[in-house]
Amino acid sequence: MEIRIATRKSELALWQARHVAEKLAALPQAPKVSLVPLSTRGDEILDKSLQKIGGKGLFIKELEVAMQQGAADIAVHSMKDVPAEMPAGFCIAAVLERANPSDAFVSGSDKGFADLSPGSRIGSSSLRRQAQLMACRSDIEVVPLRGNVNTRLRKLAEGEFDAIILASAGLERLGLQEHITEEFTPEKMLPAAAQGVVGIECLADREDLLAVLSLLEDPETKLTTVAERAVAATLDANCQSPVASFAVVDSNTLTIHALVASADGSNVMRESVSGNIADAEELGINVASRLLEQGAGALLAGNGE
């Protein structure tokens, strides 16, 4: 069996695809694996915010078309970029063990987030990050920042920003962790659903692939991913909504924390729920339902979602 992996061309996407390829090649079936690098609209349109051009789903559409047309067999994604509702005919066949889920503060100086001067410019295109940053520091300015990891680091070095926010996992995967000034704890900045998780997508009817890919599944990561993505699905939120969710497993108990905020951080709603790991999806739905009872739907509508 040959497995062709559709992937974006960015350095981080290629790292993830090669990581999956190595794991597949190590299986007893020893399938032949090759990469199919593709360009996506999300990668090509860098002068507009993701909210204006259709959200992070633009990073994966071309990969799904390649699978539909038979040019590729699977696609590898950062799960935080995958919409909560999968398109008809597709599924997430497996998720790998979660890497660091934290958000990283990368400073242009030696200053930490709390030490930034009023009016400092922080680069981030995520409304989730913007809302939580401004909830802590209403005196800073969050400025849109697009591009791959190295492009963002270059813009910081050139002085366009006083600091930028990136996913710790991405920096670590590229060997760039020395740029991390500090990491936000979940209490300070709740991550995006499935942040730090690499997922493998394929056509839902490819039973031959599903059997092989299931061997790569990390059971605990599957539970936390299901719970966290259920929050976004229940809230009808997209990847750019100021919505966050983070689940942890302790023995047979799963605890999920969720957050909905106004884009300017002036209104932040939080909820947490714990229960049996067997009820991971229901726990995600439960915590989202509690947020809806608080008025989360109206808050998201007010953000223009």
State whether 212 and 86 are in the same domain.
Answer: yes
Clarify whether residues 63 and 114 are in a common domain: no
Based on the domain organization, do 108 and 128 belong to the same domain?
yes
- Cβ 91 vs Cβ 209: under 8 Å: no
Q: Do the beta carbons of residue 51 and residue 240 sit within 8 Å?
A: yes
* Shared domain check, 258 and 112: no
Asked if the structure places residue 191 within a domain, the reply is: no
- Show which residues are catalytic: 81
Residue 44 has a CB neighbour count (10 Å cut-off) of 10
The upper half-sphere exposure of residue 228, i.e. CA atoms within 13 Å in the direction of its Cβ, equals 30
**pTM for this predicted structure:** 0.91
Same domain for 12 and 91, yes or no, is yes
Q: What is the pLDDT along the chain (305 residues), one digit of tens a residue?
A: 889 999 999 999 999 999 999 999 999 876 799 999 998 654 444 444 444 434 455 678 899 999 999 999 999 999 998 988 899 999 999 999 999 999 999 999 989 999 999 999 999 989 999 999 999 999 999 999 988 999 999 999 999 999 999 999 999 999 999 999 999 999 999 999 999 999 999 999 999 999 999 999 999 999 999 999 999 999 988 766 899 999 999 999 999 999 999 999 999 999 999 999 999 999 999 999 999 999 999 998 877 54
Half-sphere exposure of 127 (CA within 13 A, CB side): 25
Q: Which DSSP state fits 271?
A: E
Q: List residues bridging with 3 in a β-sheet.
A: 33
In this structure, are residues 8 and 59 in contact, taking their beta carbons and an 8 Å threshold?
yes
Q: CATH no. for residue 153?
A: 3.40.190.10
State the residue range of the domain holding 176: 103-183
3-class DSSP state for residue 169? helix
282 and 162 housed in the same domain? no
Give the whole-angstrom CA distance, residue 183 versus residue 193.
Answer: 17
The number of domains in the chain is 3
Q: Is residue 225 part of a domain?
A: no
**Do 126 and 55 share a structural domain?**
no
